[in-house]
Amino acid sequence: MMREVFGMDERAKEPVYLKIIDKLAPVYQTFGIDYRQMRTILKMKMTMDGRKEAAVQGMSSKAKQNEEKNQFFSSLWVYAIISVFFLLLFVYDNWIFQYTTYFSYIFVMLFSTMLANFSNILLDVKDSELIGTKPVSQKTIGAAKATHVAIYLVSFTFAIGLAVMLATFYFNGILAGLILILLTFLASLWSLGLTIVMYATVLKHFDGERLKNIIAYSQIGLSVFMVMGYYLISQIFEVIDPETFLVEMNLSLGHALLFPMWFVAPFGLVQEGFQTVYLVYTLLLILGTLAIAVLYHFNNDKIDSNLQKMNKGKTQPSNRSVLEKVAAKTLSFDSLERAYFHFAWQLTKNEREFKTRLYPSIASAMVFPVVMFFSSLRGDQPITAQNTLTFLYLPYFTMLTIPMIAVATQFSVNYKGRWQFELSPVHAKGPFFRAVTKVMLIKILLPMYSVISGLIIILTGLTYIIQLVNGFLLMSIILYFEMKRSSQELPFSRKYAASEANQGCMSSLIFFVPVFIISFIMILVQAFVPYAVWGVFIGLMALNIWWMKKGFNN
């Protein structure tokens, strides 16, 4: 009783992340942030993240039971299990190779997650509109927003790196383990700081619709840069003797632009002793960290004030493209479904949050198979001498975006429109789901698949065009089943929430195994069974016609 009166019981139930942040209160105050106000805002944000809003048809006791459950933290164990595969790195007795691979993976995952899932939080203008009217500085609002994202980002980082951290203590010693924990934490802050600085720079010079487009393009460009950087880092190493796992490294000062290598340099100093290249890279890491801290200090408060520009500028009238008109007439079999088709097309075209969440992942999915394709072309061998099965498999990588698409179509900033849909006397969920699925197929997946397939056709001829068509038909069916599996609520009917930010990423990781097996079996069957290509074509075409006419009816 007395504990409740003095608030001790309440303080004992404080989440771990708040207790850790309390220890950092002097750091916040050094940057001119009102820590008390920032903590109150942060606690409110985290509390709201754990509460799920019930739909009209779903107001049940089950929803209330799960009210305070944060889905993000509940799913981190999946990433911890997946990270076990990185224990294979320790068969190589080369710390530089081990941690170059580790930090390359960490940064690719961090930036893709940061851009796809948390940008909409950093670019949200509601905090300034609601809290900014009170005696709260923009710097405090910005710090609360950045800390909100940092809690999720750091948790995600340590989940995907947990196995390597534990193995480092066992295989490489306590000093290496402590260095790895520190640098992993620093890597998560780097990805957040670089993203904030990038947004601050863009927001300073542009406004309105042009600003939204520049931010979307910069996110796509950064995703592509990270995938290309991962490929370039892999070229630094060469396996000399597979039996003894001997690896040779060709590291030079010319690789200084690959900043994940800066995080690896301290391990080189510990294992191999003093070398100029390791010392230079370590100094670059220290200077880079200080530079990001200074830039963040001067730009953090400007982001929220400049975000008001997002609502300025003239909105251009949204015209229907030729592809939209043709696809609606060809694939929609009644007027109601055609209306839903145009609605979904225009919504995904104009909603910035949808693009922010999905487009960086799409860019990465397109660049990765292209990089793999050109990396397989070595020497003076003609294209026809290459492994054609490898070529045919590359377009299937676009299927890995299907879980991201299924998740992205669940959310919208205009999610409250679902009330009108639910309460209207006449509404058809089946045509709505079919229309949204067809829009994702034609607008998102078809251009991606066509670009990669076009590259293969140019370099290998028209021999495999039917196999490529069959691949697209298979992708259409997989999209249907994935949308049906994840369709617990109406499309575009949920609010963007930080607690559900990693759904698409986790689904993609789980999705990889069945897609790999199905695609590999299909390619082998078409390659070695006579006339199987046409049999597969007829079967897949029949399934596609069925779901486009009767899918989602139940």
Tens-place pLDDT, residues 496-516: 766 666 665 666 667 777 877
- For residue 236, the model assigns a pLDDT of 65
Instruction: Give the 3-state secondary structure of residue 275.
Output: coil
pLDDT at 65 exceeding the cut of 50? no
Assign 385 a pLDDT band (cuts: 50, 70, 90).
very low
Q: pLDDT exceeding 70 applies to what percent of the chain? A: 75
- For residue 207, the model assigns a pLDDT of 62
Assign 95 a pLDDT band (cuts: 50, 70, 90).
confident
- For residue 386, the model assigns a pLDDT of 47
21 and 94 together in one domain: yes
pLDDT at 266 exceeding the cut of 80? yes
297 and 334 together in one domain: no
- For residue 318, the model assigns a pLDDT of 64
Runs of H (alpha helix) within 172-256: 174-205, 208-234
- For residue 237, the model assigns a pLDDT of 60
- Considering 6-10, 12-16, 83-87, 159-163, the range whose residues carry the highest mean pLDDT is 159-163
Give the number of other Cβ atoms within 10 Å of residue 89's Cβ.
21
365 and 296 together in one domain: no
pLDDT at 334 exceeding the cut of 80? yes
302 and 375 together in one domain: no
- Considering 221-230, 338-347, 355-364, the range whose residues carry the highest mean pLDDT is 338-347
159 and 112 together in one domain: yes
Burial class (CB in 10 A: 0-12, 13-18, 19+), 373: middle
pTM equals 0.70
Q: Is residue 237 part of a domain?
A: no
Q: Which of 17, 24, 98 is nearest to 50 (CA)?
A: 17
241 bridge partner residues: 246
Last residue of a domain, one of 311, 346, 376: 311
Q: Is residue 213 part of a domain?
A: yes
Q: Rounded CA gap, 281 and 271, in Å?
A: 15
Mean of pLDDT values over 315-343: 84
Residues in contact with 412: Cβ distance below 8 Å, sequence separation at least 6, in sequence order: 347, 351, 353, 354, 492, 493, 494
Say which range, 49-63, 80-94, 170-184, 368-382, has the weakest mean pLDDT.
49-63
pLDDT at 239 exceeding the cut of 80? no
Q: Say if CB 141 and CB 131 are below 8 A apart.
A: yes
Runs of H (alpha helix) within 254-382: 260-272, 276-306, 322-331, 335-350, 352-375
Who has greater pLDDT, 380 or 229? 229
Mean of pLDDT values over 74-98: 80
- For residue 62, the model assigns a pLDDT of 43
Show the domain range for 40: 15-51+70-224+289-311
- For residue 476, the model assigns a pLDDT of 93
346 and 490 together in one domain: yes
pLDDT at 375 exceeding the cut of 80? no
Say which range, 38-42, 125-129, 279-283, has the weakest mean pLDDT.
125-129
363 and 415 together in one domain: yes
Question: How confident is the prediction for the chain on average, in pLDDT?
Answer: 78
- For residue 5, the model assigns a pLDDT of 42
Q: Say if CB 406 and CB 507 are below 8 A apart.
A: yes
Q: Is residue 9 part of a domain?
A: no
Q: Is residue 384 part of a domain?
A: yes
Q: Is residue 62 part of a domain?
A: no
513 and 383 together in one domain: yes
Q: pLDDT exceeding 90 applies to what percent of the chain? A: 13
- For residue 524, the model assigns a pLDDT of 83
Assign 232 a pLDDT band (cuts: 50, 70, 90).
low
Q: Is residue 2 part of a domain?
A: no
The domain tally of the chain equals 2
220 and 178 together in one domain: yes
Q: Which of 343, 502, 348 is nearest to 413 (CA)?
A: 348
- For residue 537, the model assigns a pLDDT of 92
301 and 365 together in one domain: no
Give the number of other Cβ atoms within 10 Å of residue 25's Cβ.
14
Assign 59 a pLDDT band (cuts: 50, 70, 90).
very low
Q: Is residue 257 part of a domain?
A: no
Who has greater pLDDT, 126 or 301? 126
Mean of pLDDT values over 186-193: 89
411: DSSP letter: B
Assign 2 a pLDDT band (cuts: 50, 70, 90).
very low
- For residue 287, the model assigns a pLDDT of 93
Q: Rounded CA gap, 262 and 248, in Å?
A: 19
Q: Rounded CA gap, 128 and 132, in Å?
A: 4
Q: How far apart are the first and last CA of the chain?
A: 53
- For residue 538, the model assigns a pLDDT of 93
Say which range, 145-154, 155-164, 223-232, has the weakest mean pLDDT.
223-232
- For residue 6, the model assigns a pLDDT of 40
- Indicate the residue type of 411: F
Within 13 Å of residue 176, how many CA atoms lie on the same side as its CB?
23
Q: Rounded CA gap, 412 and 408, in Å?
A: 8
Q: Rounded CA gap, 138 and 305, in Å?
A: 7
343 and 303 together in one domain: no
- For residue 474, the model assigns a pLDDT of 92
pLDDT tens digit string along 402-458? Answer: 888 888 888 887 777 777 777 765 567 888 999 999 999 999 999 889 988 888 887
